[in-house]
Structure 1
Amino acid sequence: MKKTGFFHRSELTEALWTFRREFIVVGIFSMVANVLMLAPTMYMLQVFDRVMSSRSELTLIVMSLITLFFFIVMAFAEWMRSRVLVHAGLRLDGVLSTRVFNASFEARLSQTGASVVRAFTDLIQIRQFLTGNGILAFFDIPWAPIYLAVLFFLHPVLGYAALVFAAIQGALAWFGHRHTVAPSEAASKATSESGAYLQSKLRNAEALESMGMVHNLRPHWAKRHAKALELHGQAQALTHRISAWSKLIRYSQQSLALGIGALLVIDGQLSPGGMIAANVLMGRALAPIDMLVGTWRSFIGARSAFERLEDLLRTHPERDAALSRVAPKGDVLVRGLVATAPGRPLPILKGVSTAAPAGTVTVVLGPSGSGKSTLARCLMGIWPGASGEMLLDGLPLDGWDRMELGPYLGYLPQDIELFEGSIAENIARFGQVDPEKVIAAARSAGLHEMILRFPKGYDTPIGEAGNLLSGGQRQRVGLARAMYGDPVMVVLDEPNANLDDVGEAALVRAVQELKSKGCTVFLITHRPGILAVADRLLVLQDGAVVADGPRDAVLDALRAGHAAAAAAQSSPPAATSGGLQPAPV
């Protein structure tokens, strides 16, 4: 929040405030355009009341030329204010796009429900409103009293009639807002849920088709789709009814205004030119209100988008650009780490504590569901529901600037996500491609020779999500990406899940190379072959540490424990009362 005088402005409000000069310029052009809108009225009055009676062609020509000049100036003012708004909208996007992009990713990691697509949709909606007819209506409404004053000048009855029609249109706008916003939002939400459900199934189309599950899932999608159609139909029906009433009022206003003017002409209280001019003038006076009725939904949508975007930027403030630290060495210390997840009554990790000096390899073992992958995400600082201490070189991980720290970290998740682009771009993390570092990382991952067999080598495109590569190839590209540059800490989550014996041997060499460079490695695996490179073992069970220490000491302790358990199971059970015996543990 920024403070100005006695008021606090949010970051988004402050960004809009920087465009006040543009809005002032638009207001000036709007004043010119609206004042010159009186030109047609004055022209009609003069033609009917002066030219027609005097039959002076010269007067008609001069007045026509003057009116044409006013029309040209008015068109120029309309064009300029639209141009200023369009440029302001583009500049607003340039000012906020990077902030929205970064805040959206932070929101996604913290699981607050925001996404990059939704945030940028909100930004586009705000920009479109600021450059569309809706904002122009707000600039035109302050000049409506001028037209009303001219109507009162022509005859008070005409002015009061315009006020009545304005009140009716305003009441209709209020009614429409009150009764259409909620149904429209519900229909939009249901449509999004239906689309998201279908999209999630399309991502697994191969499995669904191969196992014949498409037919079974279709009713579930159809139920959501039918609900969305029903809500959309209800919202559209209400909107059409309000639109029909709006048209009735608008057409009635035009005809009644002409009828009132005709009645005043019959009574001799108004000239025929005044009757025609009053009809045009009343339409112009009510046009901004009518435009507001038509754009009210877009205004409500833009306001909601503004509130969501404002909340996003407030919740995820911009990081201090001056924050800079020396390059980390890789000493990792975890104390009392507790990881929770929404909807889960018990924590996933329960007070995990461990230490890994720089240059050591820690292998994390444990059965499925013991919290190993959650620990990997906590080590990278990307698990939202984590508490306790995760220290890198004695400093909290969240105290580092992620853009600054990122090059010093490497991460290979279980679900490897590659991105559309070339192999070199994916290995270089889509930053500036350094050929030497890319090749070095590929060699370390045992990938270099395979890449050279591709038609375009390192420039080979891999398709969306790397779908042109096999599972093992994606695993190796992900490993090379984690090793790119000079990372001081690398976390590998099941890196050998899709590797053959050759690939696993390359993985062992890669881990040994990282260790030789002083990099701290955390390796999560189920395969015992990788234990040979471990300095330390960390064993998890049900989210708690059951063993932690040097590799050989932990292995000896585990062997001793298994031997004791086996001996206990093989010994004859003691007799119990009633001839019952306890079940083996």
Structure 2
Amino acid sequence: MALIEGSSFRQPRRTQLDQAVAACRSTAWVLALFGLASNVLMLAPPLYMLQVYDRVMVSGAIETLIMLTAMTAGALLVFGLLDATRSAITARLGSWLMAQLGPVYLANSVRARLAGDGGGAQPLRDLQSVQTFITSPGFNVFFDGPWVPIFLILGWLLHPWLGVLAIASAVLLFSLGVANEYVTRKPTIASSLSQIAATKHAEATIRNAEVVRAMGMLPAMIALWQSSNEVALSAQQRAAERGALLLGITKFVRYFVQSASLGIGAYLVLQGSLSSGGMIASSILLGRALAPVEGAMGAWRSFSMARIAYRRLQAQLRAMPEEPVRTRLPAPEGVLTLRNVSFAAPGSRVPILRSVSFEAVPGEVLAVIGPSAGGKSTLCRLLVGIAEPSSGEVRLDGSELRHWNAEELGQHIGYLPQDVELFSGTIRDNIARMSEAEDEAVVEAAMLAHAHELIQRLPQGYDTVIGEGGIRLSGGQRQRIGLARAVYRIPRIIVLDEPNANLDTSGEAALSAAIDEMKRHHCTLLIVGHRPSTIALADRILLMKEGRVELIGPRDEVLKRLRKASSDKAQPQDADAARSA
């Protein structure tokens, strides 16, 4: 067994999708039992016709006719109730899968995005596609199909010729189904991939609406979307046309066989080999036998789309496995240590950071300066745990960041990125990081960030709704509310990437006061920026160039060296920062 597990033939690791599907097995057995009961009850119409034509019509017994009619009505009523219940079960099954796997794929998509995958919310759309198919009538074909041979055998028992006709028609319809899969598979896959690309173009266009409109980019973006969408529509049209042709042939075969069964049955009645009731019953049995086959043909397209979506969902989880649950670590003091840290973007061999080493301690403000593309924002991403170094170590109180559970680590980190994104909801929700919180904690964070007065000037104060259906905030307002979110519950590590990029004079003063306040709370602060107000608050300065630590040391010492080298060696922005400070 160990040899097999260690070989190249080892089975792929079970994903959360595999586990969810395995949990549905008991429901599948229930649906199978419902399928058995429904198909047994569907024998009532042919048996009714057989008895009416062969017994009631001969004997003229009205009582028998009434009894048979009542029994058949009861059977069909139960059949209807079972079918309705089965549909309700599949609807609940689809909802359960979405409830179980939706959070998994949302978290997976976030991790994939951080790793450089631009798939966005496509996994959630794929999961919706699977759910839609499960709740559709086409899903029941899987539970009705196994009973097709039973109806074929019953037809054979009425007369071998009718059995031969039924089997031949079933084989023909099945062959048409296989042909449908063969001719529509490639265009269906091509349509799906192109539609995903078109959706990405549309989402990017809408997300950057201001830039698109201001710089006249809308025609170009529409052209990009149309290019991908036309490929999708063309492939979709090919699949639909081919499928429609085969579906038309299927309907012809289906209806012709139904008529042919009556013709053969009539011939056998004339020959005395079959009763009139048997002729009608055989036609009903044949129709019931071929119904799942025809239903499969009609649902084939949605099944193909769901199958493609399922494969993408499985591949997504295997490419981006679930993060392990780690031992809960004690709350950190806030000592950050980097040892020979290098980082290269996924798929790139060119490092962004090269052998970066330094330490930041509680109660200290470390200002990071340097030219553009020097690796400052990448360093921030490493310090807050949203990226892992290609080599080297990032440690918090001696423990590597990857040893923390992400949610627990996030409670001790405040992060303000360059581009501040707020979520649809209230100001209060955003400051509280979209979680339940006491009013006191939210107001305290706003006051620490010196954003309380700004918030009170909004229409509904902390309860002002932003995002869709709410007000639009300026860049400076977003930055100050983002700062309040960063200092919520006074985290031990605070990383601010260009926090004053959109601030006016009063905003910079508020930022300086907030930094000074967090310093008194013995937080470890790392701030990226070149403005004098930022550097003036720093205890130490770290100068980065081309992904390396060029200088690091006490503020006055580094500034002195920068002033000395400003005439011929330092970058203009470093010299300006040094002179201003």
Above 0.5 in TM-score? yes
Q: CA deviation at 1:387?
A: 3.5
Cα distance change of structure 1 residues 230 and 268 upon mapping to structure 2, 3 Å threshold = same
Equivalent in the alignment of 2:424: 420
Contact kept in structure 1, 2:133 and 2:303, CA below 8 Å: yes
Equivalent in the alignment of 2:7: none
Deviations 1:286-306 (A, max 9, x none): 111222222233333333333
DSSP-derived class of the 1:327 partner: coil
Return the match for 2:49 from 24, 37, 44.
44
Cα distance change of structure 1 residues 493 and 401 upon mapping to structure 2, 3 Å threshold = same
Q: CA deviation at 1:179?
A: 1.6
Q: For the residues of structure 1 that align with 2:521 and 2:452, how far apart are their CA atoms?
A: 20
Q: For the residues of structure 2 that align with 1:495 and 1:128, how far apart are their CA atoms?
A: 45
Contact kept in structure 1, 2:381 and 2:387, CA below 8 Å: yes
Return the match for 1:370 from 368, 374, 391.
374
DSSP-derived class of the 2:465 partner: coil
> Partner amino acid for 2:71?
I
Q: For the residues of structure 1 that align with 2:88 and 2:138, how far apart are their CA atoms?
A: 15
Q: For the residues of structure 1 that align with 2:116 and 2:313, how far apart are their CA atoms?
A: 16
Equivalent in the alignment of 2:40: 35
Q: For the residues of structure 2 that align with 1:298 and 1:318, how far apart are their CA atoms?
A: 29
Equivalent in the alignment of 1:271: 275
Unpaired runs of at least 5, structure 2: 1-9, 571-581
Within-5 A mapping of 1:480-491 = 480-491=484-495
Q: For the residues of structure 1 that align with 2:81 and 2:175, how far apart are their CA atoms?
A: 34
Deviations 1:348-392 (A, max 9, x none): 112222211222111111111111111111111213674421111
DSSP-derived class of the 1:333 partner: strand
DSSP-derived class of the 2:216 partner: coil
Does residue 128 of the first structure (1) align with residue 132 of the second (2)? Answer: yes
Q: CA deviation at 1:132?
A: 2.8
Name whichever of 300-309 and 261-270 sits farther off.
300-309
Name whichever of 177-186 and 192-201 sits farther off.
192-201
Q: CA deviation at 1:212?
A: 3.4
Does residue 441 of the first structure (1) align with residue 412 of the second (2)? Answer: no
Within-5 A mapping of 1:146-545 = 146-321=150-325, 323-342=327-346, 344-383=348-387, 386-464=390-468, 468-545=472-549
Contact kept in structure 1, 2:449 and 2:484, CA below 8 Å: yes
Q: CA deviation at 1:15?
A: 2.3
Cα distance change of structure 1 residues 512 and 345 upon mapping to structure 2, 3 Å threshold = same
Q: For the residues of structure 2 that align with 1:384 and 1:161, how far apart are their CA atoms?
A: 66
Q: For the residues of structure 2 that align with 1:103 and 1:215, how far apart are their CA atoms?
A: 34
Q: For the residues of structure 1 that align with 2:26 and 2:260, how far apart are their CA atoms?
A: 42
Q: For the residues of structure 1 that align with 2:222 and 2:123, how far apart are their CA atoms?
A: 30
Contact kept in structure 1, 2:336 and 2:361, CA below 8 Å: yes
Unpaired runs of at least 5, structure 1: 1-5, 567-585
- After TM superposition, the score normalised by the length of structure 2 is 0.90
Contact kept in structure 2, 1:339 and 1:350, CA below 8 Å: yes
Q: For the residues of structure 1 that align with 2:109 and 2:448, how far apart are their CA atoms?
A: 34
DSSP-derived class of the 2:30 partner: helix
Equivalent in the alignment of 2:93: 88
Q: For the residues of structure 1 that align with 2:469 and 2:503, how far apart are their CA atoms?
A: 19
> Partner amino acid for 1:515?
K
Equivalent in the alignment of 2:70: 65
Q: For the residues of structure 2 that align with 1:25 and 1:168, how far apart are their CA atoms?
A: 31
- After TM superposition, the score normalised by the length of structure 1 is 0.90
Name whichever of 252-261 and 51-60 sits farther off.
252-261
Q: In angstroms, what is the RMSD of aligned CA positions?
A: 2.4
Contact kept in structure 2, 1:418 and 1:466, CA below 8 Å: no
Q: CA deviation at 1:318?
A: 4.4
Cα distance change of structure 1 residues 76 and 387 upon mapping to structure 2, 3 Å threshold = same
Q: For the residues of structure 2 that align with 1:153 and 1:287, how far apart are their CA atoms?
A: 20
Q: For the residues of structure 2 that align with 1:465 and 1:411, how far apart are their CA atoms?
A: 27
DSSP-derived class of the 1:496 partner: coil
Cα distance change of structure 1 residues 193 and 303 upon mapping to structure 2, 3 Å threshold = closer
DSSP-derived class of the 1:46 partner: helix
Contact kept in structure 1, 2:336 and 2:360, CA below 8 Å: yes
Name whichever of 304-313 and 264-273 sits farther off.
304-313
Name whichever of 103-112 and 24-33 sits farther off.
103-112
DSSP-derived class of the 1:348 partner: strand
Deviations 1:21-66 (A, max 9, x none): 3222222222111111111111111111111111121111111112
